[in-house]
Structure 1
């Protein structure tokens, strides 16, 4: 298993309170060279993390259409257009390999 690296990225915001219908952007900035093996996950209380996007912008089956993912080194962004109550949770940006970087990007709440 690869090392877990927590210092390779910075994230903004750490916490985001959103109004229903608002557009929310969550960003991670990598501080070292990365490949395109970057993923976004959403974790809701009491549930395992759910993959939303992989390889930066490839949508996982079941990811709602109002989510989008984009970016290029070093800045990567997850956008939620018209946020819904069901979108509340902890969002994670994951970088791999050669290391696995996991950062809690935001807790979206209302």
Structure 2
């Protein structure tokens, strides 16, 4: 019997005032069921340029979010090499987190966050 993992890509609610200058982030897919060893990609699209100030987090139930990748492509210290961040370059709006050879411990909620423009929005 094959173990199935669910990677939930949730939307984290933030209490921020909206304005026309806010950068809106959209993640896809909303959720994904994968098997150990699979390669999975999560996309994050920004409504305007984030100039690579885009970061990826993993949150597990009852735990604080854990930084995986910062500045689009830089892996946080201690994060396994199977986590890779990439960006499309100009206009700096399309980003991807890829997990190569997913493991059971990778299950959780994944979020992208931009820090280019205040408020620092997440999805």
TM tier, smaller: 0.7 to 0.9
Q: Does 1:43 align with 2:62?
A: no
Equivalent pairs counted in the alignment come to 101
> Could you tell me how far 1:4 is from its partner in structure 2?
6.8
The runs of 4+ residues in structure 1 deviating greater than 6 Å are 4-7
* Cα RMSD after superposing both structures: 1.7
With structure 2 as the length reference, what TM-score do the two structures score?
0.76
Which blocks of at least 5 consecutive residues in structure 2 are unaligned? Answer: 1-15
> Could you tell me how far 1:56 is from its partner in structure 2?
0.7
- Other-structure match for 2:83: 67
Which blocks of at least 5 consecutive residues in structure 1 are unaligned? Answer: 104-110
Aligned ranges 1:1-110 → 2 under 5 Å: 3=16, 8-72=24-88, 73-99=92-118, 100-103=120-123
Structure with more strand by fraction: 1
- Other-structure match for 1:106: none
